[in-house]
Amino acid sequence: MRSIGEMARDSGLGVSALRFYDRAGVLGPAWVDPASGYRWYAPEQLDEARLLARLRRAGMPLADIRLVLAGWSGEDTDLVRGLLQAHLRRLERGLTEARVEFSTLRELLDHRENPMTASPRTGTVHLSLPAPALATALDAVRFAVGRDPELPVLGGVLFDVEGDALRVVATDRYRLAVARTDAAGHGGSREQVVVPAPLVDAMRALLGGDGSARFAVEGDRVTLEAGERQASGQRLAHDFPDYRRLVQLPPGRRVVVAVPALREALENGPVRVAEEREPGRSARDISVLTTVDDGTVLVCGDGVPREDADGNEDRDNKARENEAGARDTDGLGYRVGVDRGFLLEALAAGDRDRLVLEFGPAPTAPLAIRRTDDEGTFSLLMPVRLED
């Protein structure tokens, strides 16, 4: 017999996935210890679990997977082959339809970009701003810069100059961070320039003291001067997404949290392993947040036993919850899953002992992390879909 931890390691399915498939009636353990709640799997179930993992990676619906497993165990090869072929046809049909839509979208983009007549970037910007304020703004957004080589425009920080304000923005699709600081010297129209991450880091290294900094854009060249030192380089030749549309969120419920308590709850509280992964991304630890009726924010469990460091389930803790030291006027009524590492980075970038968590009207809405004293600096985290 295999424990759930051993089954997860040998089959390629996560522990939380095995629990989900048990609750869904797809693959249940051979025996559950009534005293401890331990799940135990028979040796012959390993092949079924590996088959299940392959079918899920191929995107087969659970209803069909249930039939495939039944046919597999009963040696009904005709049923299994028929289900596999039907799913393959669905995938091929979906891919064909997607190719048509993407071809149309590329044509629309070609018309919009019109590269044959595109003019070089000639924007000019000259700004003066406090060095500590710029350093603080960059620190608030740097964690959200993208690393996907397929999306080079997200590999930098947007400097958005308008009037007497500079906004710096970064996003990797899963999180977005915005910070605002006052600036002087720009009398022209709104200008936007994307500064590559290595140059941003070089600029940040110049901002160690007081005094002012001078930020300049001349065509494709970006320069920051602080004291006698200078960092200069090429801007990214891409247009940044319209972040103003991305931050237009429906009203949510705001909760003021004590950051040290929330950080401790996240680091010591229960986690799940994300079932869905983006290409090239490793498995992520997911924290599940909710509020109870008195407004306390909890990092909550999933109501099932947790595994210990050896992959065995914790018989003494079937649902552990940690208070996050926060109060609100009402309970959420739902749970929202977030990448634990992303949330910890956002809390660190918030740079306050007390921050505001803003939950959206549904668990599919982004979670906002805001400062209590600065509405212009905040970050958004995309939620992770929970299986149950």
CATH of 2-87, one of 3.40.50.300, 1.10.1660.10, 2.40.420.20, 2.40.160.60: 1.10.1660.10
Tokens encoding 226: 């602080």
CA–CA separation, 148 and 359 (whole Å): 28
Domains of the chain, residue spans = 2-87, 124-244, 249-381
List 2's β-bridge partners, or say none. 41
pLDDT more than 90, % of the chain: 44
* Proportion of the chain above pLDDT 70, given as a percent: 84
Query: What local confidence, expressed as pLDDT, does residue 361 receive?
Result: 86
At 237-247, the pLDDT tens digits run 888 889 998 88
pLDDT number for residue 314: 45
- At residue 204, what is the residue type? R
- Cβ–Cβ < 8 Å for 141, 179: yes
Does residue 318 have a pLDDT over 60?
no
Using the predicted structure, report yes or no on whether residue 267 has a pLDDT greater than 70. Answer: yes
Name which of 381, 323, 322 is nearest 349 in CA terms: 381
Strand partners, 290: 298
Per residue in 85-141, pLDDT (tens digit) is: 999 999 999 999 998 888 888 888 877 766 554 445 556 889 999 999 999 999 999
Q: Are strands 221-226 and 229-234 parallel, antiparallel or unpaired?
A: antiparallel
Domain 249-381 has CATH 2.160.10.10: no
Q: What is the pLDDT of residue 371?
A: 94
Tokens of 166: 């500079």
Model pLDDT, residue 303 = 41
Output phi, psi for 268, to 5 deg: -105, -10
Q: Let me know how long the chain is.
A: 388
Q: Is the pLDDT of residue 270 over 90?
A: no
Q: Are 379 and 366 in contact (CB under 8 A)?
A: no
pLDDT at 329: 35
124-244 and 249-381 in the same fold = yes
* Residue 339 region by backbone torsions, left for phi larger than 0, else alpha for psi between -120 and 50, else beta: beta
Fold that domain 124-244 belongs to in CATH: DNA Polymerase III; Chain A, domain 2 (3.10.150)
Residue 388 in this model has a pLDDT that exceeds 80? no
For the beta sheet containing 2-3, the strands, ordered from the edge strand earlier in sequence to the opposite edge, are 2-3, 39-41, 31-32
66 vs 283: which has the higher pLDDT? 66
SS3 323: strand
CA–CA separation, 371 and 119 (whole Å): 40
Across the chain, mean pLDDT equals 83
- φ, ψ for residue 80 (rounded to 5)? -60, -50
The whole-angstrom separation of Cα 189 and Cα 187 is 7
Beta bridge partners of 273: 285
Report the alpha-carbon distance of residue 23 to residue 308 in Å, rounded. 21
Reported as type and span, the H/E element at residue 255 is strand 253-258
Helix, coil or strand: residue 196: strand
Closest listed residue to residue 17, CA positions, set 44, 55, 43: 55
